[in-house]
Amino acid sequence: MLLPVDITLGVVLALLLAAAATVAALASLGRSREILLAGLRAAAQLAAVSLLIGWVVRSLPPLLAFVALMYAVAVWTAGRRITRNRTWWWVALPIGAGVAPVVALLLLTGLVQARGIALIPVTGILIGGALTATVLGGRRALDELTTRRGEVEAGMALGLLDRDARLEIARPAAADALLPGLDQTRTVGLVTLPGAFVGMLLGGASPVQAGAVQLFVLVALMAVQAVAVAVVLELVARGRLHRDSGAPERRRGDGRLGRGRRGRRGRRGRRSPGIG
């Protein structure tokens, strides 16, 4: 057993959670409350999963329902992290486009069985990776478009389509969402021993088997995240996923209001019919 489940573990977890929230508060990071709530939520969710997992894997319908629940929660979490308007549900596309082909490949090749406990952790890892990449890529792309709005409009004035002008600005920022996965893959075995590797060893697998499983997880995650970032970038570029033009985004530093969406549409409408 890696960690004893006793009162000492609970005390240490509480201290670490309090330390994280305190440091965030002292550094004025503005995430103290979120850290506390995330820690408490994780404890409650893991406790519930620990009680339900044995029942879920007994038959296919509850197992598939649990996988669907993981996907739905990931879509909600990623969507609301990227934008607060009604376009948030579009993130179902990048997460699904990244995860579904990989899971289908695993099932068709027999590497993972549809019945059994293996499907849940493997799918959960892939969904989690897609969630992270989608959030980072979507937020970075939208932030870049807001900050460099003038460059986007300049590109459209030069004749670029709206999509192409947004892509030119947002693509480099969105691509940074792939860096965590790349760094983890590059440094595996040298800096870190990821969870799949350690879990396999603790479960009695040989080091070779554990290494093979971990390699698969890392490569699969890179594929999932690459697809997720590419799709969310396309959604942002096409305007399917966007943020509302609220006061903080439309007001200039001198206090005057900048152009809203109507002004930009109006100018695009005056371009030649073959553009846009």
Averages of pLDDT over each 10 residues, the chain, 276 residues: 79 94 92 93 89 80 89 95 93 96 91 80 92 95 91 87 90 93 87 75 77 88 96 94 62 40 42 38
pLDDT computed for residue 207 by the predictor: 81
Nearest Cα neighbor of 217 from 233, 239, 194, 234 is 194
Q: Which residues of 253-269 are buried (b: 16+ CB within 10 A; e: fewer)?
A: eeeeeebeeeebeeeee
Give phi and psi for 44, each to the nearest 5. -65, -40
| pTM strictly above 0.75 | yes
Q: For 152-162, b where at least 16 C-beta lie within 10 A, e where not — what string?
A: bbebbeeebeb
- The total number of residues written for the chain in this structure: 276
- State which H helix or E strand residue 193 sits in: none
* Integer Cα distance of 144 and 30 in angstroms: 22
Q: Which two tokens stand for residue 218?
A: 């890392």
Backbone angles phi, psi at 271, to 5 degrees: -75, 170
Q: What are the CA-CA distances from residue 169 to residues 130, 145, 215, 264 (Å)?
A: 23, 7, 34, 17
